Structure formats: structure tokens, C-alpha cells
A = this chain, B = another copy of it.
Amino acid sequence: MTEPQKPAVVLLSGGLDSTTVLAMAKKQGFVPYAMTFRYGQRHQAEIEAATKVAKEVEVVQHIFVDIDLRVFGGSALTADIDVPKGDSPQAGIPITYVPARNTIFLSFALAWAEVLGSSDIFIGANAVDYSGYPDCRPEFMEAFERLANLATKAGVEGRRKMHIHTPLMQLSKAQIIAEGLKLGVDYGMTVSCYDPASDKPCGKCDACQLRRRGFEQNGLSDPAY
């Protein structure tokens, strides 16, 4: 007798991490529903990558959520709005930081999970590479899971217990890649570059260098080049 397959919402950016997470969710027997955010700074190349990945992995449904984070300012990715200056509390936060980003993403994922009757949300958060980001840590994810169980009818009534799955949390980039390769992930489809100059990633930004080293540690070159 086969277990009935359970639906899961998977946050999918089209990058290396979230693509690996999607493959892992499927491997664990979940029926994946992919959710991709378009939020101002998101490059078209990433949206296209997410679309390709979702098709390749045969998700049941892939939705795009448009959110305009530019309305707040506060990130270098929102250059058309004045960013607070001087003794602003943002000093020192990385240029790519988007305020409360994972909180917002997980809130939308929770809404969709509720509609789908799903108890499972997957996110490619990682505490190794992103130790500077408060909303990438296990404590944050546990607090969100607790919130999720208070925020929904099903959670409150005990019909479902929400789980926030973070299978990459403690893995290095090399370990993430090794895991994905075992699952047959085609990393040539994924885009991680913060600033792709043309069809190819720049190779110079933090994201490009991080994944290149990850492939090198697996004795491979990055198939994105």
C-alpha cells in the first residue's frame, strides 16, 4: 500500500539552493507546488530559470506573486526610492538585504498552504553562507513554524500541524550541490548571480563565487558558464 502523497509549497527563486530544495521535497514524496516572487529587483533571468526548473521537475502548479518591496525603500535594490542615510539602523546591512524578506515570503507560502490544505512549506534557507541574515537562522524558522500553527484554522483546530522544512540549513554549498547532483538536478538551468550582465552570470559577485567554489569542491566546474 502506498502512502497518499502530500502537497507541499516550495519557495523557488530559480537559484541553486531552492532548486535543490525542490528536488529534495519531491524525493521525500511530497507533491510540489512552486511559488516564485517577483519583487522589484528580481532579474528576468531568475524568473525564467524558475519557470524552467518548475517545468523540468513537473510541479503540480507554479505561481508568481508580485510584491513591490520598493515601496519601503531601505535596500540598495530599490534605488529609485531614497534610502535612509546617516545614523540609520541599516548601516552595515549587506547591499542585497531586503527587510523582513523571509517573513514576507513565508507568510505568502502559508496563505497558499492553507488554501491547498497543505501542512508543509519548503525554503532553501541556509545558516552557513548567510550567517549575517537574521531571517535565515533555525531560531527564526522555529518561530515562524510556531506562528503558522497559531495563524491558521487548521493549525488552531489541530487538524494539521504546519512544518517549515529547511533541509539546507546546516549544509555547505558543496554539500548542497552534492545532494542535488545525487537527485539528478541540472544546475545548468539555475541562476544565482546578483547581477547577470547578459545571458551568462557575471562570475564576480559573491553568489557566483560561492557556487563556483561549491562545484570545484565536488571536482566539477559550474555548468552555468
Q: A interface vs B, CB < 8 Å?
A: 63-69, 71-74, 84, 88-90, 93, 98-104, 106-108, 110-112, 114-117, 134-135, 137, 139-140, 143-144, 146-148, 150-156, 159-160
Contact = CB atoms under 8 A, between A and B. Distances in A.
Contacts of A156: 134
A157 B107 CA distance: 24
A134 B150 contact: yes
Nearest to A73: B115
Contacts of A151: 100, 102-103, 134-135, 140, 143
Most buried by B among A64, A90, A152: A152
Interface residues of A: mostly helix, strand, loop or mixed?
helix
Contacts of A117: 84, 88-90
A150 B140 contact: yes
A110 B115 contact: no
Nearest to A108: B104
